[in-house]
A = this chain, B = another copy of it.
Amino acid sequence: MDNDDLRRGLSTCHKKFSEATAILAGDALLTHAFNIISQPEQVFKIYPDTQTRIKLISRISWAAGIKGMVEGQMLDMQSYQSEQRDNLTHLKKIHALKTGKMITVSVEAGAISVDADTETIEKLIIYAGKIGLAFQVADDILNIEGDPKIMGKAAGSDALNDKMTFPAIIGLAESKKYAKKLIDDAIETISQFDEKAVPLRAIANYIINRDH
């Protein structure tokens, strides 16, 4: 939908094959995810009970659908004509839905699968929401400062396309501060977790230190 030719150094699906193929690949992957969760024993050695599978399908279909990723993408497409182009709250809403919901449910699904307690799940959801938003702020920064060779796509395309971004609204320096604060808050949220949470802390730090 953003009509980019490249993603991570490779041709995008609609460029390499066709628009119809890209649309159908999306439909197929969205649909097949639920097929796998309904019969995980065909793919994985360890898998949750029936009640947990239903809960995972319920949460993931909500995050991906009309009140999640799809709504976020729709708002993003509409943002070019929106009166809220300079509204930071609106931009946060777009990203909380477009990428945040899927990142959050990815973390939540792991916790649900091992029957974690409610307090743990709540903390993980807050953690994931913050790293999800930081991921998008970092993306916006990389689009300005990133090395096209490492990124695998042209830099500066957001500005050229007049895209609604964090640097465009609050500036580059404030965007960097904001991303750092989100990551600090995310790590603080899970501060009482033991050493098994080391990978979660590493992922949080990676998000704002990556170069692509």
Interface flags, A14-41, vs B, CB<8A=1, else 0? 0000101101101110111011011100
Which of the 9-residue segments A56-64, A153-161, A177-185 touches chain B?
A56-64
CB distance from A81 to the nearest CB of B (A): 11
Query: DSSP majority for the A interface?
Result: helix
Q: What number of A residues sit within 8 Å (CB to CB) of B?
A: 33
The answer to whether A23 and B26 touch (CB under 8 A), given A38-B58, A57-B57, is yes
Question: Are B39 and A58 in contact, with the CB atoms below 8 A?
Answer: yes
Question: Are A20 and B34 in contact, with the CB atoms below 8 A?
Answer: no
Integer count of this chain's copies in the complex:
2
A66 to B31, CA, bound (A): 8
Q: Which residues of B contact A18 (CB under 8 A)?
A: 77
The answer to whether A27 and B24 touch (CB under 8 A), given A38-B58, A39-B58, A58-B38, is no
Question: Are B1 and A31 in contact, with the CB atoms below 8 A?
Answer: no
Q: Jot down 20 A-B pairs with beta carbons below 8 A, ordered by A.
A: A1-B20, A20-B73, A24-B74, A24-B77, A27-B30, A28-B70, A30-B30, A31-B65, A35-B57, A35-B58, A35-B62, A37-B57, A38-B54, A38-B55, A38-B57, A38-B61, A50-B51, A50-B54, A54-B54, A57-B57
